[in-house]
Amino acid sequence: MNSIALIAGDAHPPLGRAIARQAGVPLVPVSISAFADGETQVRIEGDVAGADLYIVQPTSAPANERLVTLALVAEAARGAGAQRITALMPYFGYARQDVRKRPGEPRSARLAARILSAAGIDRAIVLELHSGALESAFDMPLVHLQADELMLPAARERQYAIVSPDAGGLKRAQRYAMALGAPLAVVAKTRPAADVAAPLQVLGEVRGRDCLIVDDMASTGRTIAGAAQALAAAGAREVHALFIHAVMAPGALERICAAGVRGIVTTDSVPGAPDARVRVISVVPLFVSALRDSRPTARG
């Protein structure tokens, strides 16, 4: 391959620029605009012919627009002669819709991955999918990054009990508990409707302990808030939260804090306004390392 280049999509331009800068990779300018009816128009304004091209685009809110824009940039790059196209997706939207839970529902995550493949994307590098089983939704080579190395230093700042807010996140919480040599607990719950979670009980000893809730994302904040309330009722001393993707619908942060969560740690995988209540750890070093490892020359 003749060259390596990077395009920062419109979802999180500062993150794309930071990855390019730290990786020492040239940033290709791209124009992304919309017609009066909302139809997206893309134009790559630099030369990508023969390039090993990386497109940075989390498919965060508005997820539909970000997904389509990523596909359009990839299709434009393919038409402009890019030799290989890799999507760097710090956050993959639709990841929560990986299975049919009821008749009549689509497998949205699989469809989203197929759209990217159809657009000409050859590989994807993603961070902390909602479920490891989602890897099978991609019919292209996939690098699934975990944020443990970024987040564990923050988790070591206290002697925490590590808590999964639901059974689905138990494997992630187990990784953290094993790495820290910490006790593990889980909040058992039901989910009567989408984005609504009802905590039932805490399984594990948390009385008198500082607890760290570990999850992949916070969207409405209800899951973490409910877990925090359950932990407080079970006698936890303090409750803190660590999650990778701060999707954060309006009111989510207020809901989490109102539930008694004393400290919040997350990443910049999706864009968000600075807030003194939230500590943000950058994912840039993780993606720079993944980019370098994925280059053909890095494999000798």
* Residue 62: cis peptide before it, omega within 30 degrees of 0: yes
**Each residue of 204-259: pLDDT tens digit?**
999 999 999 999 999 999 999 999 999 999 999 999 999 999 999 999 999 999 99
pTM over 0.85: yes
Mean pLDDT for the stretch of residues 260-266: 98
Greater model confidence, 131 or 118: 118
Task: Please give the positions annotated as active site.
Answer: 189
Beta strands per DSSP E along the chain: 3-8, 30-34, 40-44, 51-56, 84-89, 123-127, 142-145, 160-164, 184-193, 196-203, 210-218, 238-246, 261-267, 278-281
Query: Beta partners for 160?
Result: 210
**What is the reported pLDDT for 253?**
97
Q: What percent of the chain has pLDDT over 90?
A: 83
Q: Is 83 left (phi over 0), alpha (psi -120 to 50) or beta?
A: alpha
Q: Is 231 helix (H, G, I), strand (E, B) or coil?
A: helix
Mean pLDDT for the stretch of residues 55-62: 97
Query: Beta partners for 281?
Result: 267
Taking the chain, what is the end-to-end CA distance rounded to the nearest angstrom? Answer: 13
**Burial of 214 from C-beta contacts in 10 A (0-12 / 13-18 / 19+):** buried
DSSP string, 176-204: HHHHHT--EEEEEEEEEETTEEEEEEEES
**What is the reported pLDDT for 1?**
46
**What is the reported pLDDT for 116?**
96
